[in-house]
Amino acid sequence: MTRTNTTDCNSHTNDSNNIKKLKRGFAYKLFYQQGVWPQNASLNDYYLAVSYTVRDRMQKMFLNSIRALQEKDSKIVGYLSAEFLMGPHLHNNLINLGLYDQVSRAVEESGLDIKQIIDHEEEPGLGNGGLGRLAACYLDSLATLQIPAIGYGIRYEFGMFDQEIENGWQKELGDRWLHPGNPWEFKKAHMAVEIGSGGYTERYTDDHGNLRVRWVPARMVKGIPYDTPVIGYRVNNVNLLRLWSAEAPKSFDFDDFNVGDYQGAVHEKIMAETITKVLYPNDEQFRGKELRLLQQYFFVSCSMQDMVRIHLFQFPNLDNFPDKFAVQLNDTHPAIAVPEFMRLLIDVHHYSWEQAWDIVTHTFAYTNHTLLPEALEKWSVDMLGRLLPRHLEIIYEINSRFLDLIRIKYPGDVDVVRRMSIIDESGERYVRMAHLACIGSHAINGVAELHTRLLKNHTLADFHRLWPDKLTNVTNGVTPRRWMVLSNPRLARLISSAIGDGWITDLYKLRKLEPLVDDPAFCEKWQQVKFENKQDICAMFSCDCGPVFNPYALFDVQVKRIHEYKRQHLNLLHIVNLYHRLKNNPDLDVPPRTFIFGGKAAPGYTMAKLIIKLINSVADVVNSDPDVKNRLQILFIPNFNVQIGHMLYPMADLSEQISLAGKEASGTGNMKFSMNGALTIGTLDGANVEIREEVAPENFFLFGMDVNAVEDLRRAGYNPQTIYNQNEGLKAAINLIAMGHFSHGDQELFRPLIDSLLYHDPYMVLADYQSYVECQQKVGEVFQDPGRWTKMAIRNAARMGKFSSDRSIADYCRKVWKVKPLPVELKLQRLPENGFKFP
């Protein structure tokens, strides 16, 4: 790995010199860029001044990396994703650059507080949850592993909404991440591309007598790229996050303006800019909105045109495009790239169908992220044809050729043709985007072993039978830079002092911690770290009578999107049951517990919103009940996002990963908790299965049905009421809710939730209830033996090597993208004394 000379900065001799330069940098930026005197500067001015100074330190590497990207022998990964949930940049960049200590000293010597400045950053929340955060972790690992890559996405003006809790209910507020100014992006107006929509197609004969097709769009918008540098950990490689923003091709229609139609003149501009206005806040729920399809097509067309431009900058034609670019489709959101690239190759660059198809299918690979049927994207043929008439023609042609292949392969089997067709013709006709992605890609992957197995056996079984080598697994991972070094500095310091800091870029090295479970001094320090992390959060919630939350309690945490399949209500039923038992028997021998929840519900998902209300209602009653004071506490932390995650993963004792088996494709929070020394209570779902395998069954609290048991029960006919009637504890918990104990006597408020559990229970909460409660009992017992608990926690962290996103990216490079690292040399070290001369 090539070290940057930023690491030189760590040497003490250069330290004071660098700090002086940094301080001068802050003052300079404040004066010349912000245009304020220090005494008039706001915290935002300081944040911007510090960020611009840090950004300048990245420029040398950034420009050298761009040059390296243009070198002929390097293959570039184009990661197409509708979401990148990057989280705050400043702190991460400081860590990856190795500048944290110096900048914080320079900031301090300038009379400021680094923590305040870091916390001031409005995080770019351009994603819903796991999928978007995964893309961000992958960008960090790509840069750190020195793989040339461009993340392509959408620069939403409004990202994920901010969540407030009002009277227990979720309230959504518009996110204003761009409002304070974004010091990390560069607008590249000269690289704008044009994007069409609507209109019609026509056939024509070109000058050489060839019959061709052209698309005549009804509307055009401009796509403007904004580049954010993504720096690797202590390497010179800086990759690119290129997000597209939509603008009208001209800001005024002067004809309209001249005849006095001011409204009409600006209308086009407003319509164009609507495309990238807002992120759809639905996680795994397909809605079929026209504007969403436009968003997808917009960023995909911008990105494909951009890659084609980069390629043609170095090569005479697109014949060798797949040698230069590996393009990953992050779920089906960018799957329209398949017909779009076909269109560019055939209509614009005049390739034959066969040549174009060969290039396309060697370029794309597709990651599936969900098995939930309601998440699978299918666009109505009518709508797609109206917005993208040429693409619909191409999709039909792809389908017709594909189905011919199927008919030859399975003669006489009309059912398989119906099942595998890109067009769903069972009612209104739809384009199935997953089929389009599978057919247009050379590799398909699931995101955890179990998930991939289920794809092979169910969701994509026909495709797997047809192309047995196409479907592979790449288990998700998360970056230890953000999720340990940045967010848990105490633990990172302890680990590095014990085993050195090699683990930061080779997480398997954490294994060296294992023998330390027998070192009482190390165990004590480990406990101290966890305790101090817990104290941090307790300090945030105090009242006149002192801290509200007891740091000695077991911190039991479930943070993730609110969804019935994730079963926050199963957690709640256990809490209500525990509350009930404590009330009836104050001598109950259980450790004190603090239950912490966090997560957003999709604004239109009524049941999820009711679950939030129930969590807060139970919290109100329990927290104010003197009978359980200091023994049982519940906290719903509003607006769970990356920043709040930084705080929560490090202080958890217990990680709740309790989805119904077969529903959570992977999960990534599960990995973040374990790395930070929490134990998991979980089902055999998603990556939990592999986490348990790695940490060994005795260090994992397993409960509930596995996928086979779920399947068997469903087949046998599942009746939640039988379970309710037979389980006294469960009945008591459900009845307390239903009778209005947590709703001031109101028996209607939670009825939809109770009825759903009693009469449908689609996620089998009741079926897993007893097993969960018994497992929680065991958790409590082990927690009362701190020595044992600590050993288990250390073993968990020590065995997390597999779940670094570095391992995931290495897998993609080897199995899917066939790319190799390209270390960046700093050829251009400094600016020439007399400036540049334009070539």
Q: Which of 390, 561, 569, 631 is catalytic?
A: 561
* Token pair 């010199």: residue: 17
Q: What are phi and psi of 42, to 5 degrees?
A: -90, 170
Q: Which of 668, 680, 683, 790 is catalytic?
A: 668
Closer residue to ligand CRA, CB minimum distance, 666 or 680: 666
Q: Which of 324, 333, 369, 569 is catalytic?
A: 369
CB 322 within 8 A of CB 127: no
Give 237-289 as a DSSP string.
-EEEEEEEEEE-SSS--HHHHHTT-HHHHHHHHHHHHHTTTB----SS-----
Q: How buried is residue 315: exposed, middle or buried, by Cβ count under 10 Å (0-12/13-18/19+)?
A: middle
How far is the C-alpha of 292 from the C-alpha of 276, rounded, in Å?
9
Residue 431 pairs with which residues in a beta bridge?
379, 423
Active site residue 222: no
197 sits in which H/E element: strand 193-197
| Smallest gap from residue 329 Cβ to ligand CRA (A) | 12
| Smallest gap from residue 598 Cβ to ligand CRA (A) | 15
Active site residue 561: yes
Q: Which residues contact 499 (CB under 8 A, 6 or more apart)?
A: 509, 510, 512, 513
607 sits in which H/E element: helix 606-623
Length of the chain: 839
| Smallest gap from residue 374 Cβ to ligand CRA (A) | 10
Closer residue to ligand CRA, CB minimum distance, 146 or 668: 668
Nearest to 326 by CA among 504, 150, 114: 150
β pairing state of 325-330 and 238-247? unpaired
| Smallest gap from residue 370 Cβ to ligand CRA (A) | 4
Q: Which of 222, 560, 663, 791 is catalytic?
A: 560
- CA 250, 125, 175, 666 dihedral sign is positive
| Smallest gap from residue 323 Cβ to ligand CRA (A) | 28
Nearest to 805 by CA among 355, 132, 139: 139
Nearest to 472 by CA among 57, 202, 808: 808
* Token pair 């940490």: residue: 695
| Smallest gap from residue 687 Cβ to ligand CRA (A) | 7
How far is the C-alpha of 506 from the C-alpha of 145, rounded, in Å?
11
Structure token digits, residue 650 = 């490090």
Closer residue to ligand CRA, CB minimum distance, 75 or 561: 561
Closer residue to ligand CRA, CB minimum distance, 282 or 617: 282
Active site residue 361: no
Closer residue to ligand CRA, CB minimum distance, 666 or 796: 666
Give, in order, the Cα–Cα distances in Å from 514 to each of 378, 495, 675.
Answer: 48, 11, 13
CB 44 within 8 A of CB 180: yes
| Smallest gap from residue 604 Cβ to ligand CRA (A) | 16
Residue type, 175: D
Closer residue to ligand CRA, CB minimum distance, 375 or 713: 375
Active site residue 475: no
Q: Reduced to 3 states, what is the DSSP secondary structure of residue 296?
A: helix
Enter the DSSP assignment of 81.
-
CB 108 within 8 A of CB 321: no
Nearest to 149 by CA among 817, 826, 828: 817
Structure token digits, residue 513 = 């911690």
Other Cβ atoms closer than 10 A to 711: 14
Closer residue to ligand CRA, CB minimum distance, 47 or 463: 463
| Smallest gap from residue 605 Cβ to ligand CRA (A) | 13
Q: Which residue is nearest to ligand CRA (CB)?
A: 130
Active site residue 277: no
| Smallest gap from residue 377 Cβ to ligand CRA (A) | 9
- CA 714, 716, 720, 723 dihedral sign is negative
Closer residue to ligand CRA, CB minimum distance, 177 or 286: 286
| Smallest gap from residue 532 Cβ to ligand CRA (A) | 30
How far is the C-alpha of 463 from the C-alpha of 457, rounded, in Å?
10
How far is the C-alpha of 294 from the C-alpha of 277, rounded, in Å?
12
CB 762 within 8 A of CB 745: no
| Smallest gap from residue 361 Cβ to ligand CRA (A) | 23
How far is the C-alpha of 334 from the C-alpha of 818, rounded, in Å?
21
How far is the C-alpha of 328 from the C-alpha of 447, rounded, in Å?
14
Query: What phi-psi label fits residue 535: left (phi over 0), alpha (psi between -120 and 50 degrees) or beta?
Result: alpha
Give 745-764 as a DSSP string.
T-SSTTHHHHHHHHHT-TT-
Closer residue to ligand CRA, CB minimum distance, 130 or 780: 130
Closer residue to ligand CRA, CB minimum distance, 127 or 638: 127
Closer residue to ligand CRA, CB minimum distance, 130 or 168: 130
Closer residue to ligand CRA, CB minimum distance, 631 or 663: 663
Active site residue 390: no
| Smallest gap from residue 827 Cβ to ligand CRA (A) | 37
Enumerate binding residues for ligand CRA (CB under 6 A): 129-131, 134, 283-284, 331, 369-370, 375, 447, 476, 664-668, 686
| Smallest gap from residue 163 Cβ to ligand CRA (A) | 17
Closer residue to ligand CRA, CB minimum distance, 97 or 687: 687
Q: Which of 324, 435, 566, 692 is catalytic?
A: 566
Give, in order, the Cα–Cα distances in Å from 795 to each of 485, 622, 625, 685.
Answer: 19, 34, 37, 21
* Token pair 């969590």: residue: 615
680 sits in which H/E element: strand 679-682
Q: Which of 133, 672, 692, 795 is catalytic?
A: 672
Give the residue numbers marked as catalytic.
369, 560-561, 566, 668, 672
